[in-house]
Amino acid sequence: MSRRLLAGCLLAYPRSRRERDGAYLLDLALELAEESGFRRQAVSLLRGGFAERLRGRGRRGALLAGGAVAAAVLLVVGGGLAAGSDGPAEVEVYACTGDCPEVARQVADKQLDGWTCERQTELGDVAWRCASP
């Protein structure tokens, strides 16, 4: 199980919450999965997402939403379990503000080593999240 499984479990959260906090929740789950395991973090994301949906709707709406989310997540989790686990990926995060030549060099070195790095910018801050191959 991997990043794809945890990203799929984020579907349990309402869209507005995923758009606002999805990247943070995924990074946190990946980091915690290194110690507590991917399955535990997957269940935690599902439970948290369902709780968010319960807070935002009436009981009947929450049950309907929960059923739809459960069906979608079973597809994702089932696919993740069937694919097996290739072990936890190592994740490193780099951040800086403004022009960051040192961080850019570190990220470039990781990419040369085969790591996958994603860039995120917000209000002048730059963050890179790099995952090992």
pLDDT per residue over 28-76, tens digit each?
989 898 888 888 888 888 888 877 877 766 555 555 555 555 555 555 5
- The answer to whether residues 121 and 59 belong to one domain is no
The residue whose two tokens read 């869209």 is 15
What pLDDT sits at residue 91? 76
Query: What secondary structure, in 3-state letters, does 41-109 show?
Result: HHHHHHHHHHHHHHHHCCHHHHHHHHHHHHHHHHHHHHHHHHHCCCCCCCEEEEEEECCCHHHHHHHHH
- The answer to whether residues 43 and 99 belong to one domain is no
What pLDDT sits at residue 24? 92
What pLDDT sits at residue 81? 46
- The answer to whether residues 61 and 22 belong to one domain is yes
Last residue of a domain, one of 83, 105, 122: 83
- Domain enclosing residue 17, as ranges: 3-83
- The answer to whether residues 73 and 96 belong to one domain is no
What pLDDT sits at residue 66? 58
- The answer to whether residues 19 and 78 belong to one domain is yes
- The answer to whether residues 74 and 26 belong to one domain is yes
- The answer to whether residues 14 and 69 belong to one domain is yes
pLDDT tens-digit readout, 71-129 = 555 555 555 444 444 555 677 787 777 677 888 888 898 889 888 888 877 666 777 78
Task: Report whether pLDDT(13) > 60.
Answer: yes
Q: How many domains does the chain have?
A: 2
What pLDDT sits at residue 69? 57
Evaluate whether 21 touches 12 at the Cβ level (below 8 Å).
Answer: no
The set of long-range contacts for 102-109, using a CB threshold of 8 Å and a minimum separation of 24, is: 103/128
- The answer to whether residues 77 and 25 belong to one domain is yes
